[in-house]
């Protein structure tokens, strides 16, 4: 994984643009909104300096604030310049364990949404700390290992489902399939898609490009669900967060408002072939760092 380096970010700030951030805070027990939670925002380059201090309202949300971001042009074509700025937050509330989230990504002209779930002190949990890794279009991640886009029954074992079902939840294994130390997360299907899309494409892209990429992500995910791909191999999860096998998913990462709205609109859709019941395992690469003939590429769909 590429280390966090801020030279490009500071250079970009000389040609200043702005993006936006809103934080939503709830209790992990019952998902109840937490009013008057405190959010302290800082820059990774100077974590001791509080840039903004926010409070949540009666529905657990902060105001939408403006933050510095690199020029939008950096995210519209492959570039060596980091196209997003990064911010860290400390979130606390009375009677709850505090959490920190490092590396919130802010893109020019876009509203970033950061959701946070706090654990009550009565649960005697440790304070949470999360780091959002580099975006897949800027960081270094393993390329996808090629697979057949349609899975024959002989490869998957007995296909359990007799029709395509959009699940309420998926179980995400946060690492390669064979990593027994990696944690499993129960994630709402729509939240999973929003997280992956925010990790793999830029929300600054045209709406038609965002939709095309989300269709590909959903079709791939539903293929894993329909074929019970990992369960038929003896694993207890639906999908992984490894780019070598599946898509990049990052615990507690921020998403982007326009991506969230798009997923809410088209989340029941997927791609398939004529006379083929299962969704296509729609594999792709970035088309810049990694070339993948005969596959879709994220930049080509954009350009």
Q: List alpha helices for 203-297, DSSP H.
A: 207-227, 257-266
Q: Where in the chain is the domain with CATH 2.60.40.1120?
A: 7-131
Q: Is the dihedral of CA 72, 84, 201, 296 positive or negative?
A: positive
Distances (CA, A) of 50 to 45, 57, 87, 90, 128: 12, 20, 11, 10, 19
Two structure tokens written together for 123: 């649960």
CA 179 and chain centroid, separation: 21
In this prediction, residue 276 carries a pLDDT of 84
In this prediction, residue 290 carries a pLDDT of 56
Two structure tokens written together for 290: 């990694």
- Residues in the chain with pLDDT < 70? 1-15, 153-162, 285-303
**Going by DSSP bridges, is the β-strand pair 46-55/38-43 parallel, antiparallel, or unpaired?**
antiparallel
In this prediction, residue 270 carries a pLDDT of 87
Q: Is residue 194 helix, strand or coil? A: helix
In this prediction, residue 7 carries a pLDDT of 46
- Residue 178's CB: how many other CB atoms inside 10 A? 11
Q: How deeply is 235 buried, as exposed, middle or buried, from its count of CB atoms within 10 A (0-12, 13-18, 19+)? A: middle
Lookup result for tokens 């009677």:
95
In this prediction, residue 292 carries a pLDDT of 59
Question: What is the tens place of the pLDDT at every residue in 220-277?
Answer: 999 999 999 999 999 999 999 999 999 999 999 999 999 999 999 999 988 888 888 8
Angstrom distance (rounded) from CA 135 to CA 110:
15
Looking at domain 7-131, its CATH superfamily turns out to be: Carboxypeptidase-like, regulatory domain (2.60.40.1120)
Angstrom distance (rounded) from CA 108 to CA 106:
7
In this prediction, residue 30 carries a pLDDT of 87
């Amino acid at each position: 994984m590429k280390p966090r380096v801020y030279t490009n970010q500071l250079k970009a700030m000389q040609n200043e643009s702005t993006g936006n951030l809103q934080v939503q805070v709830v209790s992990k027990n019952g998902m109840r909104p937490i009013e008057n939670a405190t959010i302290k925002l800082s820059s990774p380059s100077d974590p001791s300096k509080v840039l903004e201090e926010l409070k949540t309202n009666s529905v657990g949300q902060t105001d939408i604030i403006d933050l510095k971001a690199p020029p939008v042009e950096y995210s519209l074509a492959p570039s060596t310049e980091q196209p997003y700025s990064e911010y860290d937050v400390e979130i606390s509330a009375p009677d709850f364990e505090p959490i920190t989230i490092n590396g919130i990504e802010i893109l020019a002209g876009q509203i970033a949404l950061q959701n946070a779930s706090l654990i009550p002190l009565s649960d005697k949990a440790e304070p949470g700390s999360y780091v959002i890794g580099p975006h897949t279009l800027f960081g270094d991640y393993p390329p996808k290992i090629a697979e057949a886009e349609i899975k024959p029954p002989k490869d998957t074992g007995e296909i359990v489902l007799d029709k395509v079902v959009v699940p309420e939840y998926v179980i995400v294994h946060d690492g390669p399939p064979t990593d027994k130390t990696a944690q499993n997360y129960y994630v709402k299907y729509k939240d999973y898609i929003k997280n992956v899309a925010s990790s793999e494409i830029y929300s600054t892209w045209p709406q038609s490009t965002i939709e095309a990429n989300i269709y590909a992500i959903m079709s791939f995910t539903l293929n894993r669900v329909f074929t019970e791909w990992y369960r038929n191999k003896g694993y207890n999860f639906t999908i992984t967060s490894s780019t070598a096998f599946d898509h990049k998913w990052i615990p507690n990462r921020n998403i982007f408002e326009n991506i969230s709205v798009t997923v809410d609109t088209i989340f029941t859709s997927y791609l398939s072939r004529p006379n083929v019941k299962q969704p296509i395992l729609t594999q792709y690469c970035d088309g810049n760092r990694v070339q993948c003939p005969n596959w879709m590429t994220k930049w080509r769909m954009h350009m």
